[in-house]
Structure 1
């Protein structure tokens, strides 16, 4: 293979395929022709050296087309820039093409992309000659490099392995296919050629006297992996390892290339893992390197990955966030993340890093956004709610982690403490405004007016059919996640709504009924309170649904979300123009056990998405989604983290977060007139904790009181588009586990997911995949673990045609036996692919 072909096919094209966009910086103009040759019907190549400002416009136009897969434009973009790549933030600001590297990839990127390194990788068996050539000329032509070595060497190995370069001979020898292995076993003529190749390219002088492939491969694997470890090690080797053979710096480029290729090749990855674990044990590397503090940049062996994880945790605890980010980014694609437990731990550190970083940003951003209640709510719905999302995702990751270790507890404690600090700071500001201005704030959509303003106008139009979703405990940040998922069903919009105080289900659900804005009252009922409209007591779902039936008669129907989705076909009478779809899953799951059920929240969002798709098929035109209240996740609470109630007064305690009755305030509780809190009825005063603490110990999840998280909620409207009869683009999905293994030995198995489009018009399109494990009865007994690459809100991941991804499946703790892992379309729940597996671990 020529040098140009080597660079094009093994460096540039794989990088382009993975990132979609590639910027090639080339001040010496070495690679211009190589880049030009990448151009085809799917790949646009923009040569900046040709037309200046026109090239910028062409690059932008081509880049925009990447966001519309399936169209007539290109699906990949290469930008050739004949200048030095930007090295500093200032350089990136003034470089008009740096923005493309932020969302794509760049070349060169690291020492491995230096011209000499590429030449050494292309001709590993002629390293000495190449280095001499570069001593005379730092930029030798491709032709000069191609001419090194003259004729074709190693004819027996080339014939048996059927590869065309010394590098590929080495890769094939390390991880041969079954056919290659069989041909090597039937012929010993290759041994002398292998010895010559190993010595000339790597400096390895074989010690083994064996002439079998397995004996030679054992020594080659140990030499190559240990060489990468040594060449990456900043300091000296321990004395116990000093005599283990390894390559010198002259072979560093080839060694790095071989190891990286083996780790990234789906067919060779498991072989690499098995070999590395075996060599680590044989050399007893953890014990030999126990005193080494700096192991370099790479995690060739599994013990190094553990060390780097500890470094990241220690840096996080010291708030050295840039260092944490560097370590996490460097190990984002580590081969050892193929082990579910490691992936979960790194995912937890990554989630904590994102949360702590967002809290730092939020702290800095408070200034100038807290001058009024309106300003604070606007800031919350546009920015601050992001820390709630990240906190929920972190608590979800922590709750799903199975094997609790001190390293995990340290991460959780630090992240929770930082979130608590900013959350309480915001709460203090919020309560001061609430005491002064009252609730609900004027000029905003209140839940008591939501039906009359969003639903009733649609029902007034004869051709409209409206589905009104009332979802218990859908806080604002979750509403945003849901709205994001619904953009493919129609025009989905979201706005903040103001929940009725106290933020509890019986009162909150009553506030979502017609006429609540003028007629809702909260009345004493012994030691409790009850919601009333027009004198009708609304103490249960039955009462609320009867209230709607009285108003709308046959035009009204109601169903639970689970009932609607479990029926094989959505059957709703054509006479029905108002269908109420009820969901209580989020609230019930989190009330019962928030530590372990946060991961089920996405099931509700998935269910709403599926239901809306089916409603569109059933002829409904519009959807309105509302909720009674939000919630607060109290993950950082300690045993004594509660609020003491006022000593004096006649109070009814509502859901451990609100007081209704009479009495005075104290340092821990505020009290305002009920009318000022937006509460009509025979209640005199409303009181609540000033802090984000309940009146009862041990609550990890709560609502009922006033906070941005509890009382600012989403209102979502969707104008359903007419559904196209055309079937959606189909995907060919391949699922596999450990190269065909049928038994899982861990509750966090990692599966391989690959996708190819079968629709020629959908090449380059994103396919959303939902992975679930089902038992014989169809029950879900395992799901994709949330966190990169799986969206925590949807439980799905998106891949383009030709992409491959490793995904960790989190199995239910109590399950054992046979199960089927299925890849679904998350909207239609059509199964793309499945594999049958069986547990092989003790429950």
Structure 2
């Protein structure tokens, strides 16, 4: 611990000389870094922590963030960071949380790493919500400009959705233990969720207002019902084409997928304006051939709607497959995600239930 020793630790014996202090620091650092010795370090550190009552002391955050000797210090620092982020979205606290992800106690205790990761995700949501919320107040009024701000700038607004998705995933998998074990963390997550909802609602409201004024179809942007005609059909004469349909795959998820695949594939990513109403039955059918020519939404009874393309009403997956086979202009091989994944062995390995991509149709010539 650098600097002046807190009064609460005045009775604890410490090295007085510079050489003695350096030797102590090198000893514990080497001890922690030795994989074959770290268990003994953890045991003795916890013992000393209990003996001097360190966990009961109120230590300043400036000292906590420079220290990783005792587990109680790590716990106290997490609470300090959670409390600080709840008060204000602070990039410095986000940086501190990210740094602690690779420190000793996060490496020794998976629950510590999971907690720092969740804290970091909540901080990212709050910071990004602050940025996007301010930007919306001066947002462009046209649909093409709004799409660019959301998808294509150096810091696209869709990053808010990415950070929120990451936070929700980590929140879902985090073990909170008994009720009330992590009150500061729970309050931080609740605030991040509220800010995400507030800013997301404002963005949606602004987009719909601009969309209504634009009198669809909006010029200068790709329409969802044009995807097959403009993006798929031109490739069919060059060889086999995989046309992968993924229901509810948000743009930011496609952006993340592209980032992961960019080293192995030549990629391009382009947003398209969805077909209203943006539900599975309409959106998936809008990706079919000829949807650009005569698609219209029709009622099919029971309070449901479907897409009519050239007189053919497409209500469900079975209808979509049949229409694609008849109108793709090439031989179509249809497959589901599970058809393409390797068979699981006796241990359950092979198929990945969390894979987010579901290839429905693979047309080829």
TM bin, normalised by shorter chain, reads 0.7 to 0.9
CA positional deviation for 1:345: 1.3
The 1:333/1:545 distance shift into structure 2, 3 A limit, reads: closer
**CA distance in 1: counterparts of 2:92 and 2:324, whole angstroms:** 58
Q: Which residue is 1:559 aligned to? A: 335
Match of residue 201, structure 2, among 424, 436, 442: 424
Q: Greater RCO between the two (CA within 8 Å, min separation 6)?
A: 2
CA contact (8 A) 1:233 1:294 kept: no
Match of residue 78, structure 2, among 302, 309, 316: 309
CA positional deviation for 1:359: 1.8
Name the SS for the 1:276 alignment partner: helix
**CA distance in 2: counterparts of 1:333 and 1:523, whole angstroms:** 55
Q: CA offsets, 1:464-499, max 9 Å, x none?
A: 111111111111000111112222443111111111
Name the SS for the 1:428 alignment partner: helix
Name the SS for the 1:522 alignment partner: strand
CA positional deviation for 1:342: 1.4
**CA distance in 2: counterparts of 1:373 and 1:308, whole angstroms:** 45
**Higher helix content, 1 or 2:** 2
CA positional deviation for 1:448: 0.7
Q: Which residue is 1:498 aligned to? A: 273
**CA distance in 1: counterparts of 2:161 and 2:171, whole angstroms:** 15
Taking structure 2 as the reference length, the TM-score comes to: 0.85
Give unpaired runs (5+ residues) of structure 2: 345-351
Matched, 1:604 2:356: yes
Q: CA offsets, 1:648-683, max 9 Å, x none?
A: xxxxxxxxxxxxxxxxxxxxxxxxxxxxxxxxxxxx
Match of residue 390, structure 1, among 163, 188, 202: 163
The 1:551/1:558 distance shift into structure 2, 3 A limit, reads: same
CA contact (8 A) 1:312 1:323 kept: no
Aligned length: 345
**CA distance in 1: counterparts of 2:230 and 2:99, whole angstroms:** 51
CA positional deviation for 1:315: 0.6
CA contact (8 A) 2:275 2:286 kept: yes
Matched, 1:341 2:120: no
CA positional deviation for 1:524: 1.8
CA positional deviation for 1:394: 0.8
CA positional deviation for 1:381: 0.7
Higher alpha-carbon Rg: 1
Matched, 1:546 2:317: no
The 1:557/1:292 distance shift into structure 2, 3 A limit, reads: closer
Name the SS for the 1:409 alignment partner: helix
What does 1:123-522 correspond to in 2, within 5 Å? 234-238=5-9, 242=11, 244-250=12-18, 251-287=20-56, 289=57, 291-293=58-60, 296=63, 297-319=66-88, 321-325=90-94, 327-329=96-98, 331-337=100-106, 338-366=108-136, 368-382=138-152, 383-403=156-176, 405-459=182-236, 461=237, 463-522=238-297
The 1:368/1:322 distance shift into structure 2, 3 A limit, reads: closer
Taking structure 1 as the reference length, the TM-score comes to: 0.38
**Structure 1 residues 275-284 or 406-415, which shifts more?**
275-284
What does 1:636-785 correspond to in 2, within 5 Å? none
* CA-atom RMSD in angstroms: 2.8
The 1:452/1:295 distance shift into structure 2, 3 A limit, reads: closer
CA positional deviation for 1:421: 2.7
The 1:507/1:557 distance shift into structure 2, 3 A limit, reads: same
The 1:456/1:331 distance shift into structure 2, 3 A limit, reads: closer
Give unpaired runs (5+ residues) of structure 1: 1-227, 569-598, 622-843
Q: Which residue is 1:5 aligned to? A: none
The 1:416/1:547 distance shift into structure 2, 3 A limit, reads: same
